[in-house]
Amino acid sequence: MPIFEVETWKVKPGKEKDHEQALRTWMTWVGEHKDLFPEWKSLRYFVKYIAAEETDRHIMVWEYDSLAAFEKYKERRGKYEGPYAEYKKVDPYYMDLFDHTSMSVEVWKDQDRSLWIE
């Protein structure tokens, strides 16, 4: 059963342009190194647009085939050793761009996917 890792955050005030560039750099780097992320079925990036106090909240959604695949990836990436050391260098999370007090991480499972309209 597929699961979705959902991470949300707000950008630190005054860091919006740096954040935008860092996210583009990170997503490009990930796209060029897909072999490091075989468990990721998909990666989606959103920004809440009209959402009252939640406007401008950034949302990243990773899709995995299963909770086991999610755990396998997290374990392999671990402490960002080997090829993941380079990944950490381009990860905006570590660039003082996020308001870390605003962050949340959730794991979702789909419900009644056969009834979804796609």
Contacts of 110 (CB under 8 A, 6+ apart): 1, 2, 3, 4, 116
pTM of whole model > 0.85? yes
Predicted local confidence at residue 61, as pLDDT? 98
Predicted local confidence at residue 1, as pLDDT? 86
Q: What is the pLDDT of residues 14-69, one digit of tens each?
A: 999 999 999 999 999 999 999 999 999 999 999 999 999 899 999 999 999 999 99
Q: What is the pLDDT of residues 61-113, one digit of tens each?
A: 999 999 999 999 999 999 999 999 999 999 999 999 999 999 999 999 989 98
Would you kindly state where each structural domain of the chain is located, as residue ranges?
A: 3-110
Give me the CATH code for the 3-110 domain, please.
3.30.70.100
Side chain identity at 94, as an amino acid letter? Y
Query: Which of 114, 94, 108 has its CA nearest to residue 44?
Result: 108
Contacts of 103 (CB under 8 A, 6+ apart): 7, 8, 9
